[in-house]
Amino acid sequence: MDAMHSVNLLHSISGFLVGMLVGMTGVGGGSLMTPMLILVFGISPETAVGTDLLYASATKAIGTTVHGFARSVDWQIVLRLAMGSIPATAATIYGLTLLGPTSSDASALITVVLGVALFFTAAALLFRDWILRFYARHVTEIGHRRRNRATIVTGVVLGVLVSISSVGAGALGVTALFLLYPKLPMVRIVGSDIAHAVPLTLVAGIGHWFIGSVNWFLLGSLLIGSIPGIIVGSYLVTRIPEGVLRTLLSLVLTLVATRLFFV
């Protein structure tokens, strides 16, 4: 316990840095925080994921409040995503309990899924514009019912990914919504994705808490640093070109994902 208290300041500084990057890029903290906890602080993969999920639910609740007051959340989309993600999250958490949440198999699974999810997140960030243009040229507009079903399926995929790795609700979710709802304004896409991430990460985080993979002292330290970090990042975002931010972040995520495979 004393060792944990001795590094609280470092955890808070990490929370500030990740919060600042989240404020500048809009990418969920899972893509940044979970790898940092594993690679820098030596936190076990299952504890890093479980703690980061509750961290993400708290920080994204702030973003949802802001978007809610700005009326930039499409709650129908949020509901459809949750119809897929919440059951998928419950099933995935149950699967982890069967595997043994602190077993070497569970740690290996989390590390591999985290690395793969980071690669996909980096690709979604780096090639998002190209993906959207390709999709617009080669895919005709889908019908209302197919779009609704595809949204639910997207929720299922996000639920599985986020429950295992804490990654996916940010860049991957936004990219999927861009493809499914090309006529929806960007601010409503982002607002809806953030709003959906709150129940998703909360349910997944509570599940990890029940199986014993949440460190509450670590969570508190991260939140102390992340709140001002998000505020600073939101201020800086207008001063740095979005393309530069996305390229740098995608390169960082690719390097981190590569490093995870050699832990």
Residue 54, number of CB atoms within 10 A of its CB: 23
What does the pLDDT look like over 236-260, one tens digit per residue? 766 767 677 777 777 877 877 787 7
Domain tally, the chain = 1
* CA quadruple 19, 24, 28, 33: dihedral sign: negative
Q: Contact 164/30 with Cβ under 8 angstroms?
A: no
Range of the domain at 40: 2-260
Listed ranges 109-118, 204-213, 222-231; the one with the highest mean pLDDT: 204-213
What does the pLDDT look like over 51-79, one tens digit per residue? 999 988 888 887 788 777 878 889 999 99
CA angle in degrees (0–180, nearest 5) for 235-236-240:
145
Task: Give the tokens for residue 188.
Answer: 């409503």
Tell me the helices (H) and strands (E) count for the chain, helix number first. Answer: 12, 0
Q: Is the pLDDT of residue 209 over 90?
A: yes
| pTM as predicted | 0.83
